[in-house]
Amino acid sequence: MIVERVWEEMHKAKTYLIQVELYTDRMRKYNRIISFIIILASVVCASTAPYHNCKWVTIIASFLVAIATIIKECFPNLMQPESELTELDKIHDFYKEYLQKLEKLFTQRYDEKSDVDDKKMEKEFDKIIKTEGNNQSDLNRLCRKMTRKEREQCQSLASDYFQRVFNNNIKYGKQK
């Protein structure tokens, strides 16, 4: 029973790791694109403003700056502050360490040299999961938009990881 709980917790932790990676990469990409548009349009606007024959270029560039700024300020699903992405990076680091502890505990159970029985494993598992704290709710709060397809992709990548790492010898805590 405890082996299955550890296995499921490892799978959850790996899924969260992948989710944070995909989400922060996507949001930082959006942030860079919007910032680039603002900078480029501002430069075009500033460089063409003194010339009377380029007034339409100036107007269009000004319009692009205004639209990009509105998107940046009014649509937080498209733009996310770097402070929140940094907070997600910390959550990622936590789940990376969390997963390593769970994997170590899981593999100790099958190590012939280790004397980890179900009681010891359960005690250590309880100690590990208590460290999770609010990380799961913070992750849900900060990952504002993940489609079902993206979530399924995260779960699939996590499953692939466990098949590779555990070499298909152990599935859901049971010997094949």
Angle between helices 2-48 and 82-110 (to 10 degrees): 160
Average pLDDT rounded to a whole number, residues 35-63: 74
Distance CA 15, CA 18 (A): 5
Query: Whose CA is closest to 7, among 164, 171, 143?
Result: 171
Q: What is the pLDDT of residues 75-120, one digit of tens each?
A: 665 678 889 999 999 999 999 999 999 999 988 877 766 777 888 8
